[in-house]
Structure 1
Amino acid sequence: MVNWAQMRDCRFEVDRVPELLERVERDTDTEAWKELGWRLVLEHDLVSPASFAALPCLVRLAPREARARALAGKILERAAGHHGCDDLLADCADAIARFREVLNRHLRSRPTDYFVSFRALLSAEGEYHWAAGLGDFEDDFYPLDCPHCDAEVTIAIGDYGRYSAIRKWDEGDVDRRDLRPAAAEGLTGTGKWMYEMAVRDGEEVLADGISHLFGHAECPGCASVFNVADEYTSANRPVMPQGTSSDSA
């Protein structure tokens, strides 16, 4: 039983979240969902004790409510931060396991909220880095430093192209080099799992983007070749909460 008197939300209040949860469980209360969202997930990736205390309820609603799936996913995306709620997160292990099952079934139905649910599944699997950083490959840029010459390289994967480049404020992306996508049989770890999930569900754009993200790029500055996902992960991997681990490639 949750002691809500000790579960402050992101507004440092303890009484609103349980009331809002009761409202959204009863009906599709749009205003209640809006308020619940900014009480459980604040800007700058902040969450609170009430965020994790609310997870079991959100997971119960997840099979029938897109807003519950999205909000639970946002909370879990931030589980790697310095929120001071590691014990509460650990207590949510059963709910998170159920959430994974719900999301996996939901994704197989090829829903309209596929990408949001895909990222939520990444966070439920503990892949916090990719849950927070993965784009839908329509208009995505992944900035990183070349591991060999420290040049600032822009990786583009989207409708406009798949390339590495040097970005200049007055010229845009210059000296473009085509990315070298990973072959399906060459993928391992998280990249392989993400790619196979997208292929299973007929998400061709997502699968193609993942193959490029986990492929190789040529640095326009020194012409060295490096793995895009490895370098992006190295620069952006979040701090992990105690007792958890995540493989990113």
Structure 2
Amino acid sequence: MVDWAQLPDSSFEVEHVPRLLERVTLHDDPAAWAELEWRLVLEHDLVSPAGFAALPQLVRLAPRSAEARALAGRILERAAGHHGQDELLADRADAVAEFGRVLDDHLRSRPADYLVSLRARLAVAGEFHWANALEGFTDDIHHVRCPHCGAELTVAIGRFGCYAQLWDGPVELRRELRPAAGTELTGTGRWLYRTALRDGQDTLAEGFRHLFGTVECPDCGSLCNLASEYTFANRPVMR
């Protein structure tokens, strides 16, 4: 039983979230979903205590509700933040695991909210840096530091090309990314690539080959693994 009186929302109020959850459980209510979102997810990508408390009910709604999937995903994408609710989140482990199973089934149906659901699935797996970084490879921009010379590189993956870029004054230095072969991928990269292929998401699959491939530094010419450098710089340290 949830003691909502001890779980404030983003406005430090306790009475609204259970009422809103009841409304969206009974019928689709766009106004209630909109209010739930700002009450559960704080500014600066933090989550209110009521957000983690609401996860089990959101997960129960997730098989039939895009809004529930999106909101539960947004909450979990921010689970590595400084929210002070680690014990409450740990108590929701069963709901998080069930959400992962729901998302696995949902992704196979090739839904309209595929990218949102894939990001949520990454958050369930604790891959928070990727859950917050993926934009669909229409024009994704990432920033990494060359591990050899320290140059700050801008990496683009999308419809305008896949390359690493560096400016030397007014002069642009650019090198094309070297995509990994699907058979070379391991770990998260392999799972993302195979999942996208399975579900007919060709743009995502090709993007993952580049994201988990090799980048050549336009400054010093050295090679490094793009995903490894991005992960090193951006993966949060879980407490």
2:218 is aligned to: 220
Q: What TM-score comes out, normalization by structure 1 length?
A: 0.93
Partner residue, 1:84? 84
Give the match for residue 175 of structure 1: 173
Distance 2:230 2:57 in 1: 34
Check the 8 A contact 1:178/1:217 in 2, yes or no: yes
- Equivalence for 1:233: 231
Tell me the CA shift for residue 165 of structure 1. 0.9
| 1:179 alignment partner AA | L
RMSD: 1.3
Amino acid in the other structure paired with 2:163: Y
Check the 8 A contact 1:10/1:46 in 2, yes or no: no
Q: How many aligned residue pairs are there? A: 239
The aligned counterpart of 1:245 is: none
- Per-residue CA deviation, residues 189-238 of structure 1 (Å, 9 max, x unaligned), is 11111111111111110011011000001101101111100111111111
Aligned-residue sequence identity (percent) comes to 63
Q: Which amino acid aligns with 1:224?
A: S
1:75 corresponds to: 75
Q: Do the aligned partners of 1:24 and 1:33 also contact (CA within 8 Å) in 2?
A: yes
TM-score (norm 2): 0.97
Unaligned runs of 5+ in 2: none
SS in 2 for 1:239: coil
Relative distance call for 1:168 and 1:51 in structure 2 (3 A) is farther
- In the alignment, the residues of structure 2 paired with residue 123 and residue 3 of structure 1 have an alpha-carbon distance, to the nearest angstrom, of 26
Conservation of the 8 A alpha-carbon contact between 1:58 and 1:72: yes
Query: 2:6 corresponds to which residue?
Result: 6
Partner residue, 2:104: 104
**SS at structure 2 position matched to 1:58:** helix
Q: Could you say which structure has the greater relative contact order, defined with CA pairs below 8 angstroms and 6 or more residues apart?
A: 1
In 2, Cα distance between equivalents of 1:95 and 1:111 = 22
Report the alpha carbon displacement of residue 239 of structure 1 after superposing the two structures with TM: 2.8
Name segments (4+ residues, structure 1) moved above 3 Å.
Answer: 167-171
